[in-house]
Amino acid sequence: MMTRKQVTLYDPVEIVPKLRAHFSEEMRPQALLARHNGEAVAGIVYAVFGDVAYYMYGASSEKALPVRGGYALQWAVLDRLRGRVRWYDLGGAPDGGLSLHQFKSGLVGKAGLRIGMPCEFNYAATFRATCALFLIQTIRRIRLFVRNGFPNFRRA
């Protein structure tokens, strides 16, 4: 998928087994696979915390596209969550990722609702923690800016 979408992912997917080992049964991340003709073509990892379910990770192969494997997995997750949660957070791409926007629009259809979040909200209890948070967020923004090829950057 990384080759098909021409992206580099930095998410720590190796944390999933650790979360499964340390969380209670109801909070452990769950994984599902979509198969077509016996071959796994897409996968998803999600977790439930209170009345919110969170999409953590997902991937699909080229073979998943014509059979809509990603949508099938999302609907399977929604079916499992029916009556258990109030919200399903698909997350978002910090750079406004067009493919994620298209996917979400296709998933919710005409009757669904996509709610955008204006920004990230964080809290730090001490001045030192506030400075560390500012530094981390600044580094992340710079990394995204560089990774996205300096969008909207104009040379004088």
As a three-state string, the secondary structure of 53-81 is EEEEEEEECCCHHHHCHHHHHHHHHHHHH
Third-level CATH fold of 2-117: Aminopeptidase (3.40.630)
**Between the ranges 7-16, 79-88, 119-128, 147-156, where is the mean pLDDT highest?**
79-88
| pLDDT, tens digit, 9 for 90 and up, residues 23-74 | 777 878 888 888 889 888 888 889 898 888 888 888 888 887 788 888 888 8
Q: What is the pTM for the complete model shown? A: 0.59
Q: What pLDDT band is residue 18 in, cutting at 50, 70 and 90?
A: confident
Which structure tokens are listed for 60? Answer: 């699909």
pLDDT tens-digit readout, 78-102:
999 999 998 888 776 554 555 566 6
Q: From CA 129, how far away is CA 37, in angstroms rounded?
A: 51
Domain positions in the chain are 2-117, 119-156
